[in-house]
Structures are given as structure tokens and as C-alpha cells.
């Protein structure tokens, strides 16, 4: 559960979890349906109460993602002249962080895959992220045991690892040891996407994760309504909502209203 502390000194992604109540993490697809609208969506999410923005990098083989996010990434790659990938997402994040439509931009985590990072080079990715003001990375296909080269290159950036209901105690311990910022707890096995029901074992899963880390634990995959978000916020430190937001990303007014409802539900839960 959330510590209930207000930590004004928190930095990186931890800043989004420092308000003494559960945090709302909003996933948006960079470049979808075009660059300008994705920037407007980031600004709208920040105004509506997002505590952390998870900015997805369009990628051709997004193995962890469901159809809504896969389609959004495909549109982003095709709709923007010259394509849209990791380099363009870093530029988008830099612009948002430098000129947020709020007093202080919420911390930004890039959600990407190993292949784009390796193509650009770990050192270059980390350097550009630090210059942009990005706080951290979520890389679903980078297991902790293979993360040493990236961790060595990414000083000053948080790296968020994922755990799932099937994670062994050894995996939980490794993730707890190497993660920074927060731990991403996948609510159910499979790919991202909206679910009509949440697992009855979610509270037990979060408790198991917390045995291995003092970091905030945020739950994602399948959270799609304010009611579900509030339920998750009763047991976790953060709630991650993705597909249900991306579905509304081409209508910024609708997105803003939905994020505001999510934020109200998450923030009132305790």
C-alpha cells in the first residue's frame, strides 16, 4: 500500500509517487494519431491529473501490447513524415518537459523495446534521454539478468522492470534489487488491453512483490475504468492505464475528461 508520505525530495519517476496517495500513470502513444495531437494529449493528461506519463515508442514488433496499442503504433509510424520511432519520441518528450502546460511536468518514462535501443546505442539513448529530461525507461523485453549493459550506461535514469503473477520468488527478488523509480506489476498474464474484470488475486500479488522491494508498486494491464482504477489503488501505490486512454487519444477533449475521472478515482482511494 502507499506509504502515505509526502516526499518533496523525491526525484526521477519517484516524484510521481511522492504525494502521499496512490499515483496515476497514464500511457500515451508518441506520434499518434500524429505528432501534434500526441503532444496535445500529453499536455491534457498532465492538466487532468496524471502523476506519471508513460510514453510509448512506436515499434513494429511490440510483443507485450494488445491490438489498441499495436494499431496506434502502426498509425504513428505511417502518419508522421519520415516515420516515428525512439529518436522522435525522445524529441517529443523533450519538448513536453521543456514547455509543459502545467506548472511542473509530471515525470516521463519511455516504454520501448530492446531493439530500438540497441540500434541507437545504449549510451546514445541514455545521453539523449538525460538531455531531454526523461526520468526513466520501461523495457518489457529486457529481463533483469540481461540488463547490466543498459544499467551501466543509464546512470541518472530509472529503469522499471516488470513482474507478473507467474514470477518466481527469485525473479521478484532480482526485480526488487535492480528496479528504480517503481516496480511494474502486471495484473494478469498476456498482452495489454482492457479487461472486464480484475484478478481476485491482485492484492496477494502486490503483497508478494512488496516483500522484495521498498519501491512503489504500480499495477497495469487490464485497468480500463475509473471503478477498476480505484479498486487497484486500494492495494497498490500506483495504477497504470494504457489501452483505454489510447482509444481516446485522437479526441483530446474526451481523453482529458477520462483521465480526470481516473485521477479522481485513484487519488480518493485512500
Q: Which of 54, 88, 158, 237 is catalytic?
A: 54
Mode of pairing for the β-strands spanning 238-241 and 23-29: parallel
- How far is it, in rounded angstroms, from Cα 115 to Cα 150? 12
User: How is residue 106 written as a grid cell?
Assistant: 509530471
**H helix and E strand count, the chain:** 11, 9
Answer yes or no: 65 catalytic: yes
Mode of pairing for the β-strands spanning 23-29 and 217-220: unpaired
| Residue 5: Cβ within 10 Å count | 11
Ranges assigned E (strand) in the chain = 23-29, 52-56, 108-111, 136-138, 158-160, 162-163, 183-186, 217-220, 238-241
Phi, psi of 111 (to 5 degrees): -100, 115
Q: Which of 65, 88, 158, 230 is catalytic?
A: 65
Catalytic positions, written as ranges: 54, 65
Amino acid at each position: 500500500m502507499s506509504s502515505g508520505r509526502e516526499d518533496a525530495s523525491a526525484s526521477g519517476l519517484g516524484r510521481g509517487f511522492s504525494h502521499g496517495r496512490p499515483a496515476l500513470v497514464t500511457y500515451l502513444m508518441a506520434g499518434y494519431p500524429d505528432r501534434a495531437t500526441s503532444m496535445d494529449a500529453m499536455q491534457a493528461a498532465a492538466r487532468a491529473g496524471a502523476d506519471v506519463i508513460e510514453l510509448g515508442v512506436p515499434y513494429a514488433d511490440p510483443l507485450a501490447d494488445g491490438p489498441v496499442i499495436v494499431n496506434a503504433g502502426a498509425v504513428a509510424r505511417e502518419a508522421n513524415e519520415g516515420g516515428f520511432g525512439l529518436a522522435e519520441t525522445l524529441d517529443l518528450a523533450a519538448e513536453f518537459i521543456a514547455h509543459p502546460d502545467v506548472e511542473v511536468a509530471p515525470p516521463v518514462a519511455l516504454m520501448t523495446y530492446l531493439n530500438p535501443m540497441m540500434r541507437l546505442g545504449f549510451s546514445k539513448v541514455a545521453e539523449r534521454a538525460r538531455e531531454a529530461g526523461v526520468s526513466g525507461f520501461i523495457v518489457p523485453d529486457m529481463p533483469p539478468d540481461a540488463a547490466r549493459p543498459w544499467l551501466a550506461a543509464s546512470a541518472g535514469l530509472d529503469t522499471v522492470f516488470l513482474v507478473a503473477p507467474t514470477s518466481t520468488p527469485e525473479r521478484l527478488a532480482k526485480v526488487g534489487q535492480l528496479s528504480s523509480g517503481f516496480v511494474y506489476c502486471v495484473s494478469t498474464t498476456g498482452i495489454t488491453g482492457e479487461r472486464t474484470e480484475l484478478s481476485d488475486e491482485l492484492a496477494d500479488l502486490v503483497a508478494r512483490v512488496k516483500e522484495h522491494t521498498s519501491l512503489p508498486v504500480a499495477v497495469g494491464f487490464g485497468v480500463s475504468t475509473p471503478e477498476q482504477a480505484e479498486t487497484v489503488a486500494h492495494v497498490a501505490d500506483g495504477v497504470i492505464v494504457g489501452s483505454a486512454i489510447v482509444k481516446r487519444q485522437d479526441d483530446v477533449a474526451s481523453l482529458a475528461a477520462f483521465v480526470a475521472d481516473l485521477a479522481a478515482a485513484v487519488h480518493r482511494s485512500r
